[in-house]
C-alpha cells in the first residue's frame, strides 16, 4: 500500500489517496478533489508506481465530501472502475439531483434555525452551489461489516456516522499489524467538524463520540487518515479528540451561564469568533451539535431558537473543578 498526497486548499491540509497495486488489482481508497491540479498529481503519482488511471479496477470512498470523491467519476469513465461508497452517501456521490436538493433544503432550514445572519447565508449559498453532475460515477453501495478481498488483504467496512452520514473506516492488516483508513473520522492535527459537515446526521456529536470510542478501543497499530500524515497512536489521538469535545462542552455551558440565553450563531461566535467561507456553516454546526447533545442530557434547555443552561447544570458548574464536562462516554 502506498499513500499518495494530493493538494487541497481546505483547512484540513493535503488530501490522501491510498493505492493498492501489490497484486492483480489496482485499487484506490479516496481520489482527492476534482481540480485539474489534483488530477495531474494523481496521474504523476500513479505513473511513479508504474500504473495509469486506466489501470484502476476499484475505488473505495470513505464518504461523500467532494475533496474525497471528486475524481471518482473521471477515473471511472477512463478505466471502468467500480466505485464503492456507503449506502447513506451513495445518492450524493452518484449525483442524484433530488438528494442534493434535499441536502441544500435542510441546510437552508438550519441557516435560519441557527440564526446565521443574511450576509453570511449569502456567502454560503455562493460557496455551496449545486455541483455539476456531469462527472458523477455510477456507485455500488456498501454496508457496515462488508469485507472485500484486495490483493490478498481483507478490507473490512466499519460505518462511523458523525462527520458524515455514510462515513466509513476500512480495517485491514498490513505487514502483520492491524491498521485502519479513517477518512475524516480521525485526523492528525484538526478535529473533524460535526454538525455542519453533514446536516443529515441526527445526534451528530453522540454518533461521532461513539465512533471515536470504537477507534480508541480497537487499538489499531496505525491510522491512515484522509488528510495529512499517518497517525502512529490512533487510540491516543481518538482519546484526545474526545477530551477536546468535553472541553468544548464545558465552554458552551460557561458561555450560556455568563451570557445566555443565546442562539446557535451567538454560541458559535463565542467559541470560534469571526468565520468565513465554509466555516460559516461548520462553526454553528458544531455549536449546534453540542447544544443538542447537552439539551438531551438535561444540561441545556431549548427555548425556541435560543438555549439556556439548566438549573441543575448551573448548580453543578459552580462546583465544577475539572476542565472538561462529562459527555457520557
Left, alpha or beta for 37 (phi > 0: left; psi -120 to 50: alpha)?
A: alpha
pLDDT at 128: 78
pLDDT at 127: 81
**Spatial separation of the C-alpha atoms in residues 167 and 140, rounded to whole Å:** 15
pLDDT at 78: 97
pLDDT at 329: 77
Cα 50 to chain centroid, rounded: 32
pLDDT at 79: 98
| pLDDT tens sequence for the chain (329 residues) | 999 999 876 556 789 999 999 999 999 999 999 888 999 999 999 999 999 999 999 999 999 999 999 999 999 999 999 999 999 999 999 999 999 999 999 999 999 999 999 999 999 988 877 666 678 999 999 999 999 999 999 999 999 999 999 999 999 999 999 999 999 999 999 899 999 999 999 999 999 999 999 999 999 999 999 999 999 999 999 999 999 999 999 999 999 999 989 999 999 999 999 998 889 999 999 999 999 999 999 999 999 999 999 999 999 999 999 999 999 87
pLDDT at 328: 87
DSSP letter assigned to residue 231: B
Grid coordinates of 17: 489517496
Tell me the CA end-to-end span of the chain in Å, nearest whole number.
34
- Of the options 1.20.1740.10, 3.40.50.460, 1.10.10.10, 2.60.40.10, the CATH number for the domain spanning 241-319: 1.10.10.10
- Nearest of 74, 70, 59, 51 to residue 29 by alpha carbon: 59
pLDDT at 1: 96
pLDDT at 11: 57
What are the extents of the domains in the chain? 2-102+129-238, 241-319
pLDDT at 10: 58
Q: Which CATH class is domain 2-102+129-238?
A: alpha beta
107-145 b/e with 16+ CB inside 10 Å = b? beebbeebbbeeebbebbeeeeeeeeeebbbebebbeee
Dihedral of alpha carbons 293, 298, 300, 303, sign: positive
Amino acid at each position: 500500500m502506498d499513500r499518495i498526497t494530493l493538494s487541497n486548499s481546505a483547512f484540513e491540509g493535503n488530501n490522501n489517496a491510498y493505492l493498492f497495486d501489490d497484486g492483480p488489482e489496482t485499487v484506490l481508497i479516496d481520489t482527492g478533489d476534482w481540480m485539474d491540479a489534483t488530477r495531474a498529481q494523481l496521474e504523476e503519482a500513479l505513473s511513479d508506481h508504474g500504473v495509469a488511471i486506466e489501470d484502476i479496477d476499484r475505488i473505495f470512498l470513505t464518504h461523500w465530501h467532494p475533496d474525497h470523491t471528486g475524481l471518482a467519476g473521471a477515473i471511472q469513465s477512463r478505466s471502468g472502475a467500480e466505485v464503492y461508497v456507503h449506502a447513506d452517501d451513495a445518492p450524493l456521490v452518484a449525483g442524484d439531483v433530488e438528494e442534493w436538493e434535499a441536502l441544500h433544503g435542510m441546510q437552508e432550514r438550519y441557516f435560519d434555525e441557527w440564526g446565521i445572519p443574511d450576509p453570511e447565508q449569502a456567502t454560503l449559498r455562493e460557496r455551496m452551489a449545486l455541483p455539476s453532475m456531469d462527472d458523477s460515477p455510477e456507485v455500488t453501495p456498501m454496508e457496515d461489516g462488508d469485507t472485500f478481498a484486495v490483493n490478498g488483504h481483507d478490507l473490512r467496512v466499519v460505518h462511523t456516522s458523525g462527520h458524515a452520514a455514510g462515513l466509513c473506516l476500512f480495517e485491514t492488516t498490513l505487514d502483520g499489524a492491524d491498521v485502519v483508513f479513517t477518512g475524516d473520522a480521525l485526523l492528525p492535527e484538526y478535529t473533524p467538524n460535526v454538525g455542519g459537515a453533514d446536516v443529515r446526521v441526527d445526534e451528530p456529536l453522540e454518533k461521532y463520540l461513539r465512533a471515536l470510542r470504537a477507534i480508541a478501543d480497537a487499538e489499531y497499530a496505525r491510522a491512515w487518515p484522509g488528510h495529512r500524515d499517518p497517525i502512529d497512536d490512533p487510540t491516543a489521538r481518538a482519546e484526545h479528540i474526545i477530551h477536546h469535545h468535553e472541553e468544548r462542552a464545558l465552554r458552551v455551558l460557561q458561555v450560556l451561564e455568563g451570557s445566555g440565553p443565546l442562539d446557535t450563531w451567538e454560541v458559535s461566535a463565542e467559541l470560534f469568533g469571526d468565520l468565513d467561507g465554509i466555516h460559516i456553516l461548520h462553526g454553528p454546526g458544531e455549536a449546534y451539535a453540542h447544544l443538542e447533545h447537552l439539551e438531551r442530557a438535561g444540561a441545556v434547555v431549548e427555548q425556541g431558537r435560543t438555549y439556556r443552561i439548566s438549573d441543575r447544570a448551573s448548580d453543578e458548574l459552580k462546583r465544577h473543578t475539572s476542565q472538561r464536562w462529562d459527555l457520557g462516554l
